[in-house]
Amino acid sequence: MRPQCTDKFVGAILAGWRYDISGIAPEMRGDYEQHFRECEHCRYWRKLHRTIDVALIILTAISAGVFLLAFGVIHHFEPRHAVLLELAALAGFALSALIWVIVAVATPAPLVMADAARLGARAVHDRLPPEIRQRIPEELRLKISGQ
Ligand SMILES: [Zn+2]
């Protein structure tokens, strides 16, 4: 059995936002962040939603790439009905790109990915030898360490 939400009222609000509080002013986030700390149910759903968002953005990017590749292949080899096939490939590319933009704008996926990128950069940074680390500009170092 999955744990129930510890506060149905807050849980319902969070569900309405797809468990995304990144759009809320920081000073108003306190209660919701507190709830995420206490409520395993909402933490689980937040993670699931973000996973779906990121998966969608990656899938649509791959899909757009494949359609573009298909267009290139058709254009190069010019089979019969090349124009029709090219149009189909372009339509597929346009649709994938459109969905990608919608996902990127409507969900916090870009924020999640930026976060993941920063964590990855930090992990690499921490493993660098000190003499190389010293050469990284101060500004960039602060950005990576998230302060
Ligand atoms: Zn909850």
Q: Give pLDDT tens digits for 51-68.
A: 999 999 999 999 999 999
The residues, ordered by sequence, that sit 6+ positions from 23 with a Cβ below 8 Å of its Cβ are 17, 108
d(CA 103, CA 124): 29
56 C-alpha to center of ligand 1: Å? 25
116 C-alpha to center of ligand 1: Å? 24
Give yes or no for residue 75 having a pLDDT over 80. yes
Q: Give pLDDT tens digits for 7-22.
A: 999 999 999 988 988 8
Domain membership of residue 126 (yes or no) is: yes
Domain membership of residue 128 (yes or no) is: yes
Q: Give pLDDT tens digits for 109-137.
A: 888 888 888 888 888 888 988 888 888 88
Domain membership of residue 21 (yes or no) is: no
Q: How many domains does the chain have?
A: 1
Domain membership of residue 60 (yes or no) is: no
- Between CA 86 and CA 89, with CA 88 as vertex, the angle to 5 degrees is 65
15 C-alpha to center of ligand 1: Å? 9
Q: Domain residues for 122? A: 108-147
Q: For helices 40-77 and 8-16, what crossing angle results, to 10°? A: 10
Domain membership of residue 56 (yes or no) is: no
